[in-house]
Amino acid sequence: MLYTNAIIITVNDTRDIILDGAILVKDTRIEAIGKTTALRAQYADEPITDLSGKIVIPGLVSTHMHTAQTLLRGAADDHELVGWLCERVWVAQGNFTPEDGYAAARISIAEMLKSGTTTFLESMFANRYGFDGLAQAVEESGIRGCLGKIVMDVGQYAKDPAWAMHPGLVENREQSLLGVLDMHEKWDGKAEGRIKVWFGARTPGGVSDGLYKEMTALSREKSIPITMHCAEVKADREFCASLSPPLTPMTYCDSVGLLGPQTVLAHMVHLDDNDIAVLAKSGTHVAHCPTSNAKLASGIARVPELLKAGVNIGLGTDGAPCNNTNDLLQEMKMAGIVHKAVTYDPTVVSAEEVMEMATIKGAKALGLDKDIGSLEVGKKADFVAIETRSVRMTPFFSPVSAVVYTATGADVDTVVVNGKTVVEKGRLITMNEDAVVSEAAIHAKEVMERAGLTEKVKAKWPLI
């Protein structure tokens, strides 16, 4: 297929933007990219898809999200993190069934694809949600999924016994760590290579030192990457400081072998200067989730300092209860503006830097930058076409600024993953969208009833 007449933001090494550009896709990869006139002349017999009026970008890469939590969208608004977890989210998730997990995965993936995310990192999928269903949803939908299965053996947050997990979520070494190895053997590399299985470790305090060390040794031995929440709230830093000897988030992670190029640490809000230096030296990646951090009042990550130190940063939406959307385009805007507000510097994080975080830097964090993250000959054909001929998108002058600061998922017209069209004219074509929506609504209601949360999640104002 020859896709023609688009403005193409390549994110290649020279960051070229091709006006009136075209992409030739053969099987799963990009065979040619350049001006429409040249490619139409060279490949005159190829079928054509006209993308006039559209900006084409590499498929977006979400480096941190929770597929199960989309069933809980809006169920824990206006709560700080620990209360949010202990009183609402863990209670609901502790009552999940595998059928709920499958429905949640489908609605999450549907939303991601429709809003331009072609690759995602699931951070911490619990055993009770049914990992097979998650992998099946990835396979059926056509998306790329790096699937972190939970690793844990301590059922509380940090060191406070009052911050206990719901009993339905507590797992031991055999269920969690060994379960990852089972799922890695079963699913890694499946779905035409679109599925990767990761270790999804719980935050320090939720995993014993011994289990961390066993996991990190297995990660190196078997080349299984690791993702973990870290330094999200002040309690995380206080936990590390309470150890003997006192540590910081990064010196603790270093002590149990967590740091390195195969690790993505999410949030990373509460870091000191030495943490940033240790992180940069190790080659560890960061998943920046500004909307979640703002909504839960966790703080604002030191992204300008991290970038200056050379830390690779991707973007993530986090889960729907702490963001309310899985739309990474909206996250891009937040990432571009929040640091301006706190530094009083409008140049501090540019639209171009945000575009890199959402594409090539996210791909690098997942170890996939040789295949995805930019539009270049030989790379996988993962790309998104954004419609510009609308009230919201008119006018625009810089294509990158238009994508970062103006576009939302509602502007996505076409999505191609692995050379196959998965969204066409804004409509999913690999999934029955109506069925996905109705199933998610039914399962969300059942989860709330099972968890005894139906009354607690209702509107605060009178419903008459």
Query: What is the tens place of the pLDDT at every residue in 148-201?
Result: 999 999 998 876 677 889 999 999 999 999 999 999 999 999 999 999 999 999
Q: Identify the pLDDT of residue 85.
A: 87
Per the CB < 8 A criterion, the answer to whether 215 and 251 are in contact is: no
**Rounded CA gap, 410 and 427, in Å?**
11
**Rounded CA gap, 402 and 362, in Å?**
20
**Rounded CA gap, 435 and 13, in Å?**
42
Share of the chain above pLDDT 90, in %: 96
**Rounded CA gap, 260 and 138, in Å?**
27
Confidence tier at 223 by pLDDT (50, 70, 90):
very high
Work out the average pLDDT over 59-76: 97
Given the candidates 3.40.50.300, 3.30.420.40, 3.20.20.140, 3.40.50.2300, the CATH classification of the domain at 60-365 is: 3.20.20.140
Q: Identify the pLDDT of residue 41.
A: 98
Q: In sequence order, what E strands does 128-284 have?
A: 144-151, 195-201, 226-230, 263-267
CA distances from 239 to 157, 232, 266, 345 (A): 9, 12, 17, 33
**Rounded CA gap, 107 and 281, in Å?**
38
Work out the average pLDDT over 83-89: 88
Work out the average pLDDT over 324-344: 98
For 296, residues 6+ apart whose C-beta sits below 8 A from its C-beta are 79, 80, 81, 84, 233, 322
Cα angle, residue 440 at apex, residues 435 and 443 outer, rounded to 5°:
125
Q: In the predicted model, is pLDDT for residue 81 greater than 90? A: no
Confidence tier at 419 by pLDDT (50, 70, 90):
very high
Beta-carbon neighbour count of residue 321 at 10 Å? Answer: 26
**Rounded CA gap, 415 and 363, in Å?**
17
Query: Looking at the DSSP assignment, which residues form a beta bridge with residue 420?
Result: 417
Beta-carbon neighbour count of residue 17 at 10 Å? Answer: 15
**Rounded CA gap, 28 and 420, in Å?**
7
Tokens of 447: 């989860």
Cis, peptide link before residue 245, omega less than 30° from 0: yes
Per the CB < 8 A criterion, the answer to whether 289 and 316 are in contact is: yes
3-state helix, strand, coil in the chain (%, to 5): 40, 20, 40
Q: Identify the pLDDT of residue 333.
A: 98
Q: Do domains 2-58+376-428 and 60-365 have the same CATH topology?
A: no
Residue ranges of domains in the chain: 2-58+376-428, 60-365
Given the candidates 2.60.40.10, 3.40.30.10, 2.30.40.10, 3.40.50.720, the CATH classification of the domain at 2-58+376-428 is: 2.30.40.10
CA distances from 66 to 121, 147, 173, 182, 289 (A): 8, 10, 21, 21, 12
Work out the average pLDDT over 427-454: 97
Work out the average pLDDT over 55-60: 99
For 309, residues 6+ apart whose C-beta sits below 8 A from its C-beta are 276, 277, 279, 280
Q: Identify the pLDDT of residue 79.
A: 84
Per the CB < 8 A criterion, the answer to whether 111 and 326 are in contact is: yes
Q: In the predicted model, is pLDDT for residue 452 greater than 90? A: yes
Tokens of 122: 């699931």
Cα angle, residue 193 at apex, residues 169 and 143 outer, rounded to 5°:
65
Residue 318 identity (one-letter amino acid): D
Q: Identify the pLDDT of residue 82.
A: 78
For 47, residues 6+ apart whose C-beta sits below 8 A from its C-beta are 1, 2
Per the CB < 8 A criterion, the answer to whether 371 and 380 are in contact is: yes
Work out the average pLDDT over 299-324: 97
Confidence tier at 267 by pLDDT (50, 70, 90):
very high
Q: In the predicted model, is pLDDT for residue 423 greater than 90? A: yes
**Rounded CA gap, 108 and 90, in Å?**
18
